[in-house]
Amino acid sequence: MMGLENVLAVAGAARGSVLLVVLGLLISIPIMVAGSAMLLRFLERLPQLICIGGAVLAWTAAKMIVSEPLFAEALALWPGIVPLVYAGALAGVLGLAWLTAHGGALRRPGKENA
pLDDT of residue 1 exceeding 60, the answer is no
pTM summary value: 0.62
Considering its fold, how many domains does the chain have in total? 2
pLDDT digits (tens, 9 = 90+) for 38-84: 999 999 999 888 889 999 999 999 999 999 998 888 888 888 899 99
Q: Do residue 86 and residue 103 come from a single domain?
A: yes
Structural domain containing residue 11: 1-45
Q: Do residue 59 and residue 7 come from a single domain?
A: no
pLDDT of residue 113: 53
Mean pLDDT of 102-114: 61
Q: Do residue 54 and residue 110 come from a single domain?
A: yes
Q: Do residue 2 and residue 55 come from a single domain?
A: no
pLDDT of residue 109 exceeding 70, the answer is no
Q: Do residue 11 and residue 39 come from a single domain?
A: yes
pLDDT of residue 63: 94
Kindly write down the DSSP assignment for every residue of 90-104, as one continuous string: HHHHHHHHHHHHHHH
Residue 29, Cβ density class (10 Å: 0-12 exposed, 13-18 middle, ≥19 buried): middle
pLDDT digits (tens, 9 = 90+) for 12-34: 888 888 998 899 888 888 888 89
pLDDT greater at residue 108 or residue 79:
79
Q: Do residue 6 and residue 28 come from a single domain?
A: yes
Q: Do residue 50 and residue 92 come from a single domain?
A: yes
Q: Do residue 50 and residue 101 come from a single domain?
A: yes
